Amino acid sequence: MLVNQKYEIFPTEKQKETLDRWLQYCRQTYNSALLDKERKYKQNRENYNRYDMQKQLTLDKRKYPFLKEMPSQPLQEVFVRLQKAFENFFRKNARYPKRKKYKEYTSMTFPQFGFNKKGNRMAMSFSSNGKLYNTRLGEIDILLHRPLEGIIKQLIVKRQGNRWYAIFCVEGQAPPTTLDIHNAIGIDVGINKYAVLSNGLEYENPRFLRKKEKQLKKTQRRLSKKKKGSANYFKQVQRVRQLHEKVGNQRRDFLHKLSYNLTKEYSVIAVENLNIRNMVRNRKLAKSISDAGWGMFRNMLTYKCERNGGVLIKVDPKFTSQDCSSCTNLVKKSLSIRTHICTKCGMILDRDHNASRNILQKALDELLTITE
């Protein structure tokens, strides 16, 4: 099992400058590799891959010696990212890869950490003082607010606003032993209701959000009618901006409260592992899903679960709404059918309630195979 563990690091101003510069090198390398790839394809349908990019990088380093200022691994890892971006695009999980702007390129990956088999330091490791260490940067303060256990597979250094973080990808972390699997809940995030739990509890969609969003649309429409550049135009821009922020804040607030209550109450929480993008593409569902901030909610659940010693399990969403949660009989139904009626065992349940029970069952099956 691979787990990401995130810790804040505190580089000095000078270290920040260096890290930021390295990020720029990564970003430029990413962008120019993307351009090269496009050019090669246009010219002679050439499939310019990761290894070609690496060769080009070697040449670039001769031409632009400043590229040698940073460790080579994170620079090469850029091509892995680009390759993934294309793979996601071809699998229709993402848009066509774009050139990255400053704000969009915020992290670099060190694919190895610590010491190699011969005992040599890798580009990033811990110093004897327990700080993050790189020969060029020196020691960087890190706040290990919780123990870092297991084998570190890689390190991502990330800039978020003015703060910097170290994200360790760690292998071999056993599930927490204090986990109470009897205190488990499945959650179905729905369209009509925000969330339905496997014990039947329901959480309504926040209406106030709907209302505010309607308001937002209205102000946006008004803005489009104003003369660009006029004083009224700028006033309206201000209004839209403020409302936008308000809606965002309210949504976040609602989700924080809900995720807080759920993670406090339950130690195992099961949700569907949905491909958000695919759902958002479905126009009918789009409004309510993006509304619901489902991705944000799931992130909150993840870290809050962890903080409380619980665990969030994401299960395969296949058939969760079709299967009978009582006898596993498959009951096909379209999205408009809101009630699950099993023709085999006779169980009648709200559609989302039935789904959340299936989600829970799948998670427990998974958990039991891990702990056995």
Question: Near Zn ion by CB under 5 A, which window of 159-167, 176-184, 239-247, 324-332?
Answer: 324-332
Q: Which is nearer to Zn ion, 239 or 333 (CB)?
A: 333
Task: Look at residues 353, 298, 354, 349 and name the one whose alpha carbon lies nearest to residue 325.
Answer: 354
Question: Near Zn ion by CB under 5 A, which window of 7-15, 261-269, 337-345, 351-359?
Answer: 337-345
Q: Which is nearer to Zn ion, 54 or 329 (CB)?
A: 329
Q: Which is nearer to Zn ion, 219 or 326 (CB)?
A: 326
Give the whole-angstrom CA distance, residue 198 versus residue 188: 8
Question: Near Zn ion by CB under 5 A, which window of 40-48, 205-213, 268-276, 339-347?
Answer: 339-347
Cβ 322 to Zn ion, closest distance in Å? 11
Which of 329, 333, 341, 366 is the binder for Zn ion (CB under 5 A)? 329
- Give yes or no for a contact between 37 and 63, defined as CB atoms under 8 angstroms apart: no
Kindly list the catalytic residues.
188, 272, 352
Which tokens belong to 344? 């085999």
Give the whole-angstrom CA distance, residue 318 versus residue 244: 35
Residues binding Zn ion: number (CB under 5 A): 8
CA angle 315, 319, 324 (to 5 degrees): 110
Which tokens belong to 231? 């004083």
Which of 85, 124, 155, 342 is the binder for Zn ion (CB under 5 A)? 342
Cβ 312 to Zn ion, closest distance in Å? 28
- Give yes or no for a contact between 180 and 269, defined as CB atoms under 8 angstroms apart: no
Residue 345 sits in the site that holds Zn ion (CB under 5 A): yes
Residue 330 sits in the site that holds Zn ion (CB under 5 A): no
Dihedral pair phi/psi, residue 93, rounded to 5°: -95, -10
Residue 327 sits in the site that holds Zn ion (CB under 5 A): yes
Task: Look at residues 315, 198, 202, 207 and name the one whose alpha carbon lies nearest to residue 258.
Answer: 202
Question: Near Zn ion by CB under 5 A, which window of 74-82, 93-101, 204-212, 343-351?
Answer: 343-351
CB atoms within 10 A of CB 159: 18
Question: Near Zn ion by CB under 5 A, which window of 26-34, 110-118, 229-237, 347-355?
Answer: 347-355
Residue 322 sits in the site that holds Zn ion (CB under 5 A): no
Which of 72, 106, 326, 341 is the binder for Zn ion (CB under 5 A)? 326
Which of 255, 324, 355, 367 is the binder for Zn ion (CB under 5 A)? 324
Give the whole-angstrom CA distance, residue 226 versus residue 209: 26
Cβ 197 to Zn ion, closest distance in Å? 20
Task: Look at residues 326, 313, 278, 16 and name the one whose alpha carbon lies nearest to residue 163.
Answer: 16
Residue 88 sits in the site that holds Zn ion (CB under 5 A): no
Give the whole-angstrom CA distance, residue 255 versus residue 223: 30
Q: Which is nearer to Zn ion, 288 or 326 (CB)?
A: 326
Q: Which is nearer to Zn ion, 134 or 361 (CB)?
A: 361
Give the whole-angstrom CA distance, residue 156 versus residue 113: 10
Cβ 329 to Zn ion, closest distance in Å? 4
Residues 165-168: contacts with CB under 8 Å, at least 24 apart = 165/6, 165/7, 165/8, 165/9, 166/6, 166/7, 166/8, 166/9, 166/132, 166/142, 167/4, 167/5, 167/6, 167/7, 167/107, 168/4, 168/5, 168/6, 168/7, 168/113
The footprint of Zn ion (CB under 5 A) covers 324, 326-327, 329, 342, 344-345, 347
